[in-house]
Amino acid sequence: MSLQKSATTTVSPTEPFELESGLSLIPRLKLNLTIHRADKSVSPIDEWKLKRSLVDYLQKSHSISIPEDDIKIHKYKDLNKRKREEPVARGTLFVMDLDFLSKRVLAYRDEGGVEALFLEWRKQIVSEMDGMELNLEGVRFKLSVVLPMSDDAEGMRKAWEEIAAFGNKGYSRGERQQPDTIIIKGVPSRWFAEPRVSSKPSMLVSHAIFSALGNIRNLDVAEDNDTGDDEDEDLVSGLNCKIVVRFKTYTDFYNALKVLCGRSLIKQGSRLRADYEVTWDNDGFFQNSRGQVEDRKRWTPATETGNYRREASGRVSQFNSDDGRRKRFKD
């Protein structure tokens, strides 16, 4: 276990992290884009021109080269019915090649400043791109850029500390609550399935994979058919899964969250890249699961806000490391 702790605490934000079953977490920068009109034109937005404008900007201003395929643009329908102040498109931008940054941070490794340098670079990119105007051959658009919450481990930490400080009704004075559960959405089900047995995700395979991040107390796997805001109406049920991992300690939980944030999942021999979403559980997912008797204080904020709820449908399996020997799960 000391090797696990060493790996999750020493890995640089620009380095990959190896998992089991040929899976790897590769570093990347992901930005959410929102595009508004910046003039009185009613011309539709040209997706190709927009991508070329962003590619050229990153190359000239930041010496960053990205392929057009790493910019995803979704144009809103019925633009003629939308108000002028409403966005005309949204999208995501990925910077997958961080080798240039890796060379820059080598000198800081012994000083423990690698993470700080990376975060400062990322903050600068967001600051400079947010609010910039794009002139697409005479048609002007304004760009809004934000870092996704699922890529901001520090932002999530501040969120749960704020809830603990101001939303702890029902707790005795001085009682300390800390989260311990991570939710990962949008990973391919077959990557977490038992080879040559089933295409459905397995709790045993999932447990073996995520054990590389720390000591696991509970694990739950379910189908993830939520497309969020994506306009993919042809999504096949069961292609992706949602995995909920509860760690035995807050330290393992937080180290795992930091490793999962700002990375995508790839598998050896596959061209597919899973740009998953990760967050912390603020709904007490495992609180009443299977009537478990809690052997330590659980994170259960008094507020009922949150993006994730336990689902009755699409349930695959659940693993509790405290249950001792378990029979192999059958799909």
Whether residue 11 lies inside any domain: the answer is: no
pLDDT at residue 203 greater than cutoff 90: yes
State residue 125's pLDDT score.
Answer: 95
Region 167-195: mean pLDDT is 78
Picking from 99, 119, 147, the residue at the C-terminal end of a domain is 147
Whether residue 18 lies inside any domain: the answer is: no
State residue 177's pLDDT score.
Answer: 73
Picking from 112, 147, 182, the residue at the C-terminal end of a domain is 147
Q: Are residues 207 and 132 in the same domain?
A: no
Whether residue 138 lies inside any domain: the answer is: yes
Q: Are residues 57 and 174 in the same domain?
A: no
Of 81 and 49, which is predicted with more confidence?
49
Question: What is the chain's Cα-based Rg?
Answer: 21
Q: Are residues 166 and 303 in the same domain?
A: yes
Whether residue 270 lies inside any domain: the answer is: yes
State residue 291's pLDDT score.
Answer: 38
Q: How many domains does the chain have?
A: 2
Q: Which stretches does DSSP call E strand in 175-249?
A: 181-188, 216-223, 240-247
- Residue 302's SS3 state is coil
| Angle, alpha carbons 202-252-173 (nearest 5°) | 120
Question: Residue 214's domain is classified under what CATH number?
Answer: 3.30.70.330
What single string gives the DSSP state of each residue in 287-301? TTGGGPPPSS-----
Q: Which CA distances in Å does 13 have to 29, 114, 122, 319?
A: 10, 8, 11, 30
Whether residue 3 lies inside any domain: the answer is: no
Q: Are residues 258 and 176 in the same domain?
A: yes
pLDDT > 70 fraction of the chain, expressed in percent and rounded: 75
Whether residue 204 lies inside any domain: the answer is: yes
* DSSP 8-state assignment for residue 307: S
* DSSP 8-state assignment for residue 236: P
Region 56-77: mean pLDDT is 94
- What is the C-alpha separation between 297 and 193, in angstroms, rounded? 32
Whether residue 16 lies inside any domain: the answer is: no
Q: Are residues 107 and 226 in the same domain?
A: no
Whether residue 329 lies inside any domain: the answer is: no
Picking from 147, 162, 183, the residue at the C-terminal end of a domain is 147
Domain of residue 138 covers 29-147
Two structure tokens written together for 126 = 């967001």
Burial class (CB in 10 A: 0-12, 13-18, 19+), 101: buried
Two structure tokens written together for 93 = 């931008």
Q: Are residues 162 and 287 in the same domain?
A: yes
Q: Residue 58: in which H helix or E strand, if any?
A: helix 47-62
Q: Are residues 37 and 76 in the same domain?
A: yes
Q: pLDDT by residue (tens digit) across 282-291? A: 888 887 554 3
Q: Are residues 187 and 229 in the same domain?
A: yes
State residue 133's pLDDT score.
Answer: 95
Of 102-106, 133-137, 316-320, the one with minimum mean pLDDT is 316-320
Q: Are residues 290 and 182 in the same domain?
A: yes
Q: Are residues 171 and 237 in the same domain?
A: yes
Question: Residue 110's domain is classified under what CATH number?
Answer: 3.30.70
pLDDT at residue 171 greater than cutoff 50: no
Other C-beta atoms lying within 10 Å of the C-beta of residue 192: 24
Q: Are residues 155 and 265 in the same domain?
A: yes
Q: pLDDT by residue (tens digit) across 223-249? A: 887 755 554 444 555 689 999 999 999
- What is the C-alpha separation between 222 and 241, in angstroms, rounded? 6
Q: Are residues 211 and 132 in the same domain?
A: no
